[in-house]
Structure 1
Amino acid sequence: MSSRSPSAPDAADAPPLGTSDVKDRAQRSIIALGLRTLGSLGLRVVSSLALSHLLFPGDYGAFAIVAFTAAMGAFLGDLGLSASLVRQQHEPTQDEISTAFWSHQAFTVLIVGVILLLAPWLSRSYELGPSGAAMVSVMALGLFFHSLRVIPIMVLERQLRFPALARIELIEGIAQTATTIFLAWMHCGAWSLIGGGLVRGGLGMVMFWAAAGWRPRGAFRWDIVKRLLSFGIWFQLTGIIPAALQGWIPLVVGRMEGKDAVGLVNWASALASVPLALSSVLTRVAYPAYSRMQQDTEALSEYLRTSIRRVSALLCLAIPFGVIALPPFIPVVFGERWSLASALVQWFTIEASMQAVQGLLHSQQHASGHAKERMYVAITASVLRFGLGALAVMHWGIVGVGVSATAVTLTELWVTARLVSRRNPRLSRLEFEVMEPFLTVGALLALALGLSRLAMGQGGLLVQALVAAGVLTALVLAREASRRGLSLLGELRALVQQLRARRAPP
């Protein structure tokens, strides 16, 4: 008797999707994930407001260091086998899926064992305190929640069943937020962040298995592992190496500025990640969608261009005003203890907006089989972040993290767009279309902030923000009237019309 759910067919039994089916499912998936993202952002607001008064920078600093170790373990335990199954043209067989599943578990057992052995050393090296080794160990054991969900998520993503994923992830978020706030209220410190993550992982694992309806039934085969690794290892290295090099933040900042400074950087990064919520929605849908559309280069090129134009328009119209509002907003809402991170949040927000567009380009590189090319760019950018970031911290303190990261991400965005455009003649001048709105609106933002500070002198932060917002509005409208570059308002109107057309009755 099969354990499969009638409403959730195995990946091996799913019918092939045509280009029109892929586009339709992708659009429905973006809407579903977008609604989930709005719910997640609401939960993040509630969590940030509560935890900013219950926890301290040192708690975030300790968690950031421990979470970095766990994140590296998660990357190493995957090796991109599931990504290879999502990308391949034929539907995965039961042997392929089961081989990937058991490989993930074996890799995870090895990684968890190594982390458990290193836990005391990691605790001493990063000065995590008497409970540091226990925190590292618990986070390491939590990696099994990640490894056991990888294949069920792959099954759902390959079938573009993102509405089901969205529902599960929203429930996960609610459970994590409630648990974290409760534990913080109980004065658990960094353990509250760890506990919330573990509850999310365990609950989500159960729900993903139920939704996918898949059970391991095929045979394990080494030839499948070797074939999947030929692409998967390069795909996964693009995440592993940057994540490893990202460890310079707790290492360098912790040594130079202390654990509290690491907490401020981690908190600022989390608060500034709103644009990345949009990026995660688009990137998750884009990779399987682009993979299914590789044979139709004309449709794929137009789909990629349209996605980039509309995402850029949304971000360039919204993010600059958010950057202006942050200095008066943070101390009032979150408390004075976090005001030192205001400038850092501004830089991270600008960087995150560029990463949102970069995610679409990364998806196209991976879907077209150029993961090795993507890896080289990611390594170079990560090395630059490490080197320039360390120098910037020496000269400007923690704000230097944001300045250097933004400069490197801007350069990486141009290089990635250039590589993608060279691979497809239908994407000529893509790098100009990608860079122009960020460069022009970024220059207008800098001008508006500079003029507001000159005009107001030592005026309050709120007054400066209001003046800067007014100046920026006038400058953006002047840019739109000049009809040079991407029409931000025109793309926004086109997006609204598309959404209305989908909601209109047939």
Structure 2
Amino acid sequence: MSSRSPSAPDAADAPPLGMSDVKVRAQRSIIALLLRTVGSLGLRVVSSLTLSHLLFPGDYGVFAIVAFTSAMGAFLGDLGLSASLVRQQHEPTQDEITSAFWSHQAFTVFIVGTIVLLAPWLSSTYELGPSGAAMVGTMAIGLFFHSLRVIPIMMLERQLRFPTLARIELIESVAQTAGSILLASLHFGAWSLIGGGLVRGAVGMVLFWAAAGWRPQGTFRWDIVKRLLSFGIWFQLTGIIPAALQGWIPLVVGRMEGKDGVGLVNWATALASVPLAVSSVLTRVAYPAYSRMQEDSAALADYLRTSIRRVSAVLCLAIPFGVIALPPFIPVVFGERWSLASTLVQWFTIEASMLAVQGLLNSQQNASGHARERMYVAITGSLLRFGLGVLAVLHWGIVGVGVSATAVTLTELWFTARLVSRRNPHLSRLEFEVMEPFLTVGALLALAVGCSRLAMGQDGLLVQALVAAGLLTALVLAREATRRGLSLLGELRALVQHLRARRAPP
């Protein structure tokens, strides 16, 4: 049989992108996704403020445990086939896309069936209550919303059509926010979070299929699946194994601190995910863009280095002040019931800023074909998070989750930067460029917070935050004055000038 149907053209139906096209589309994609992110964050603020008064830590704890099971199913059902299609140099054929599509669906059927059968056991193990099994089963069935959208999203991402993706994802966020708030107002508890996610999945699936304009036309072929798995399985294991090991949080924290403790950790993670919203934008664009540039090591190195400098500048100048503001901000805005999570949110926010840069390095590793290397690093980091996390929770309670995670992420960031720099001769000293801003600004943050607490004694949290912010401003300006070459403020000015030049009429 022919490798593809004579009437089946290449799936993308578009000419190959040149290097200049890739850069232009990548920049447009970043802008579109950043605008979407701003809208999504606004919706998240509305959702968090509303749901924090309608739900309780226990509701978030139950949802965190159920969502973990669903997330594992989503990882297992993907197999990394779509990532292989994004990375390959030639445009995917109909046979390749159709083979990947039906593989996703078949494996998702198996995963959903397994989770549904295990639902009663999972509910009793994690003490989810009488409706726990129904929650797990419902979230499992919702995995089809994920599997059915993988291929349409792959097609849009490969052609860097992120403005279209951004519009659809913003509509998804609106649907999820409205659904969750409506159900929470009707006193559905944890079910409101589950229902909002299902509404998002259904709306997104319909819109992604309409945007991609693709229907299964080719022939399913095992040889294609095997070839795609040779890269895809390593790519996907990078997400599966760390996600599985992350299950220690609901298990250990749930046993030691109860469902409320799990809920506080889950809530803190969600609130601290603003830098990760930036990371997800850059990582999504970076992987297909780096994949198209992998044959030009010099251009790829310049693009990666510039991206890291600009992201680090924005995060290192903004995140520390956000960290300082969190203790007085959380109880006033969200209520006293969440004040116990303030310190945890601070640690998660610092970690998230480092993960934003880590995402760029991970994309470069995967795009250059070193997914197996990335997997080994991810597994080692996850094992360290588990081991150190358990010890930290024993000594410091739920705050130990944030302390241990931040320490491991910092180490993983350095090691990944070192591996990437060794693979590309144009990336020498990359690890220093990556680590220096986080280490120096982090030290200044610790000094400012420590001095404010010693100086202000028993004064309120707001006074301490204002004093710490003033001290940090002076320390950062002193650091900038001693810098040689392009400082963080200088990099930020260069970024603003670049954006203005792009917006200027030709």
Cα deviation per residue 1:430-489 (whole Å; 9 max; x = unaligned)?
000000000000000000000000100011000000000000000000000001586100
Q: Is the contact between residue 10 and residue 155 of structure 1 (CA under 8 Å) also seen in structure 2?
A: no
C-alpha distance after superposition, 1:267-288 (max 9, x if no partner): 0000000000000000000000
CA RMSD of aligned residues (A): 0.8
Query: Match of 2:227?
Result: 227
**CA 1:10 to 1:171, structure 2 compared with 1: closer, same or farther past 3 Å?**
farther
Tell me which residue corresponds to 1:364: 364
Specify the alignment match of 2:477 in structure 1: 477
For 1:91 and 1:10, locate their aligned partners in 2 and report how far apart those are by CA, in whole Å.
Answer: 6
Who is 2:6 aligned against?
none
Taking the aligned partners of 2:246 and 2:484, their CA distance within structure 1 comes to: 37
Counterpart CA distance in 2 for 1:483 and 1:274 is 28
Q: In the alignment, which residue of structure 1 is the partner of 2:270? A: 270
Distance 1:429 1:81 in 2: 34
Q: Distance in 1 between matches of 2:493 and 2:480?
A: 13
SS of match in other structure, 2:78: coil
Letter in structure 1 aligned against 2:296:
D
SS at match of 2:220: coil
Structure 2 match to 1:350: 350
Matched-pair contact (CA < 8 Å) for 1:77–1:107: yes
SS in 1 for 2:188: coil
Partner of 2:494: 494
Q: Given the alignment of the two structures, is residue 260 of structure 1 paired with residue 235 of structure 2, yes or no?
A: no
1:60–1:262: 8 Å Cα contact kept in structure 2? yes
Q: 1:363 to 1:258 in 2, by over 3 A?
A: same
TM-score, structure 1 as length reference: 0.98
After TM superposition, list the pairs within 5 Å mapping 1:332-351 onto structure 2: 332-351=332-351
Residue in structure 2 matched with residue 100 of structure 1 by the alignment: 100
Identity of aligned residues (%): 88
**CA positional deviation for 1:11:** 3.2
Matches within 5 A, 1:58-97: 58-97=58-97
Name the structure 1 match of 2:38.
38
Distance 1:486 1:322 in 2: 24
Residue 6 (structure 1) aligns with: none
- Asked if residue 162 in structure 1 is aligned to residue 162 in structure 2, the reply is yes
8 Å CA contact 1:436, 1:485 repeated in 2: no
Q: Which amino acid aligns with 2:95?
A: D
Q: Using a 3 Å threshold, how does the CA distance of structure 1 residues 485 and 315 change in structure 2: closer, same or farther?
A: farther
How does 1:194-273 map onto structure 2 within 5 Å?
194-273=194-273
**CA separation in 1, counterparts of 2:431 and 2:216?**
44
Name the counterpart of 1:385: 385
Structure 1 residue 12: deviation in Å? 4.0
User: Alpha-carbon deviations, 1:210-234, whole Å to 9, x = none?
Assistant: 0000111000000001000000000
After superposition, residues 307-346 of structure 1 pair within 5 angstroms as 307-346=307-346
CA contact (8 A) 1:351 1:409 kept: yes
The Cα of 1:104 is off from its aligned counterpart by 0.1
Post-superposition offset of 1:314: 0.1
- Corresponding residue for residue 396 of structure 1: 396
- Aligned counterpart, 1:4: none
State how far apart, in whole Å, the 2-side matches of 1:485 and 1:116 are: 58
Query: What letter corresponds to residue 11 of structure 2 in structure 1?
Result: A
Q: Deviations over 1:485-505 (max 9, x none)?
A: 861000000000000000100
Letter in 1 for 2:186: M
Distance across 1 between alignment mates of 2:246 and 2:411: 17
- Per the alignment, in what secondary structure is the counterpart of residue 11 of structure 1? coil
Aligned equivalents of 2:178, 2:12: Cα separation in 1:
38
Q: Deviations over 1:1-41 (max 9, x none)?
A: xxxxxxxx963422100110000000000000000000000
Q: TM-score, normalised by structure 2?
A: 0.98
Q: Is the 8 A contact 2:112 2:141 kept in 1?
A: yes
Other structure's SS at 1:160 match: coil
Work out the CA distance in 2 between the residues paired with 1:106 and 1:453. 58
- Moved beyond 4 Å, runs of 4+: none
Which sections of structure 2, spanning at least 5 residues, go unmatched?
1-8
Is 1:439 matched up with 2:461?
A: no
**Alpha-carbon displacement from aligned partner over 1:296-320 (angstroms, at most 9, x marks no partner):** 1111110000000000000000000
Contact 1:361 1:420 in 2 (8 A): yes
Match of 1:5 in 2: none
1:40 and 1:173 in contact (8 A); partners too: yes
Aligned to 1:417: 417
Unaligned ranges ≥5, structure 1: 1-8
Give the letter for the 1:491 counterpart: E
Task: Tell me the number of residue pairs that the alignment of Structure 1 and Structure 2 aligns.
Answer: 498
**2 CA distance for matches of 1:485 and 1:321?**
24
